[in-house]
Amino acid sequence: MKIKLNKEQYEYLANNVLANDKTLLGEENIENQDENYIINVDLDKADAIRDKCLDNQDISGFDKNYNITKKGKILEELVDLFYN
């Protein structure tokens, strides 16, 4: 499946969510098109990436009053994009 991310989404995914697990993205599966990134992943990797996004959202996606944060909004967008 091909997933289109904007620069902010891609950078957050690569530098935060998958910072310790680069194997899920694989540089050969990423196309840079201007300010967008096209990621080609199979369904299993998409599920794994989505699960990591949800885990991160539980940790840093909400403030102390359970209001969604900027990080939480980006993670929410990523969860939606990697949903199959």
- Higher local confidence (pLDDT), 21 or 50: 50
Please report the pLDDT score of residue 42 as a whole number.
92
Rg over alpha carbons for the chain, rounded to the nearest Å, is: 12
Per the listing, tokens 């939480």 go with 72
Residue 22 has pLDDT above 80, yes or no: no
DSSP letter assigned to residue 14: I
CB 60 within 8 A of CB 67: no
Cα–Cα nearest to 46, from 79, 8, 11: 79
Banded model confidence at residue 60, pLDDT cuts 50, 70, 90: very high
Q: Which helix (H) or strand (E) holds 74?
A: helix 70-81
SS3 2: strand
**pTM (2 d.p.):** 0.90
Average pLDDT over residues 36-44: 93
